[in-house]
Structure 1
Amino acid sequence: MNKEIIYTESALKKINTITDDFKKKIEAEIINSKNFLGEESIEITAADIEEIYKQVRIGQSISNKLVYKNRMMRIILPIYFFIGVFMIIFGLFYDNIQNMIHENPPQLMIILSGFILSLVSGALYLLVKQRIADRINREKYEDKIENSEIKL
């Protein structure tokens, strides 16, 4: 079932503005790549436009993957660091921990509960910090797009 799509006047104006801006950016990119001395005009072909379109699509997909990978690394690496430090401490005090397991299990449970609480709260703190940084970067990027500072 195909539904009819109706654009408001403001939506049409916005689409025209966006396409005009996109057209100007395509022209600027092609002028940069085809600007030869002595020529008075530059011919833009369908292949030129297709090449610019591919560059934009490839750039966006690579950028999204890198952002996700970078974000996961910034969250996971500190957690691995603290787990490694915990393992070193556990190894150093292994005999004491074994005695605690056999002689005083409630004390061990309190220590483990504190460690788990610290690990979870630290991970959540890093996640919130990362989301705030991502939001700030996204806002800066959107501002640059609005001000036409981003080139294709």
Structure 2
Amino acid sequence: MALKRMDNVLIVVEELDPVIAFFVEIGMELEGRGPAEGRWVERVIGIDGVRQEVAMLRIPGGAGRIELARFDAPAAIRSEPPGAPVNTVGLRRVMFAVDDIDDVVARLRTHGAELVGEIVQYENVYRLCYVRGPEGIVVGLAEELG
């Protein structure tokens, strides 16, 4: 029995639109958006009475996806403070390879994103940074050099 792939990473958000716009600016495509509720959802996630809206974004031409979920019932629970540092226990970031890190950072700033640290060069291999976007979501960006 072999692992086939990683289908997606779920990010629970309070507002879908700004987070969708943030990931679309990185270069992802909105694959679909709609409600997810009913007994089948309740059984999968173990929460009764759940009503949520989900959006699925995909990497163009690739298999990677990010699922965003906004819970209408029951309301989402915030377990860490907004702006938690990257050494906080739990899923901290998703990393994307990009062609032009400066361009992507500049475009993300129009969505309120801020650099967590700096854009740095690792040897002659990568330029790297972390960016904090809407709702405190942290993404890593990597531009391969040479």
TM-score computed with the length of structure 2 as normaliser: 0.16
Give the structure, 1 or 2, with the largest relative contact order (CA under 8 Å, sep 6 or more).
Answer: 1
Looking at secondary structure, tell me which structure has more helix per residue.
Answer: 1
TM-score computed with the length of structure 1 as normaliser: 0.16
Looking at secondary structure, tell me which structure has more strand per residue.
Answer: 2
| Greater Cα radius of gyration, structure 1 or 2 | 1
